[in-house]
Amino acid sequence: MPSMFPNPPTPALEFKGNLLTLMILHLFETDNEKIAEQLAEKISKAPGFFQQAPVIIDLHAVHDDNNIKLAELVRLLRNHGLIPVAIRGGNPQQNETAVSLNLGLLLDSKTVRTSRALEPELATTAPSPPKIITQQIRSGQQVVALEGDLIVLAPVSHGAEVLAQRHIHIYGALRGRALAGVNGDNEARIFCQHLDAELISIAGQYQVNEELPLELRGKSAQIYLQDDTLKFDPL
């Protein structure tokens, strides 16, 4: 006899909230010619870092300026291999233009932080254990610690990449790329015994090899954020 209550269909999709690694482009003025010049200069220093990277355009600094040519800016970013996905901090007119360009609208991060601060703390979760790598990370390899710290007990070669949600500790030479706080953790730090990185990034703020402080090249160092600027100190 067939059941009166047929089995529900297998779900074909599911939405889940998550923290993803997104680059944020903070716009300080609306002169697209100047923007194009500085954008090309930055990308030329680390072209692989930007290719196919999703980007959020932050308009807080130009919130009151309706002279911004958003369509032209989006086209410029795409021509450089970036993928603009949303804006935040825009005024109603800017938001309307963004929607017409098929961009998403993000809530003001300050509002989100304020609302979360008002929520009662329901539970305390234990810190995630670190991910420990004992072998050299060679060119072309990528190691990711999706939760907690990443500890590497060997060198990170040119062309290799290490990423962590929190801190990165490298007990050897850092010659590849190191990206800490990839979920936006401004408190994340990078520690290494020999600094010669191709790229250093914490919570989206980055510097390439040519910008590293000369006095710390080849030496032990720690890198952290202070006022949204990367700081380098000797260990």
- Is residue 40 predicted with pLDDT exceeding 70? yes
5 falls in which pLDDT band (50, 70, 90)?
low
138 in the same domain as 64: no
26 falls in which pLDDT band (50, 70, 90)?
confident
**End position of a domain, from candidates 80, 115, 150:** 115
Task: Compute the Cα dihedral for 114, 89, 107, 25 and give only its sign.
Answer: negative
Helix runs in 102-235, H state only: 109-117
pTM for the whole thing?
0.59
Whether residue 124 is contained in a domain is answered as no
110 in the same domain as 136: no
**End position of a domain, from candidates 89, 115, 141:** 115
How many domains does the chain divide into?
2
97 in the same domain as 152: no
Domain that holds residue 148: 131-234
171 in the same domain as 76: no
190 in the same domain as 110: no
Predicted confidence (pLDDT) per residue in 42-63, tens digit: 888 777 777 788 888 999 999 8
Whether residue 17 is contained in a domain is answered as no
166 in the same domain as 96: no
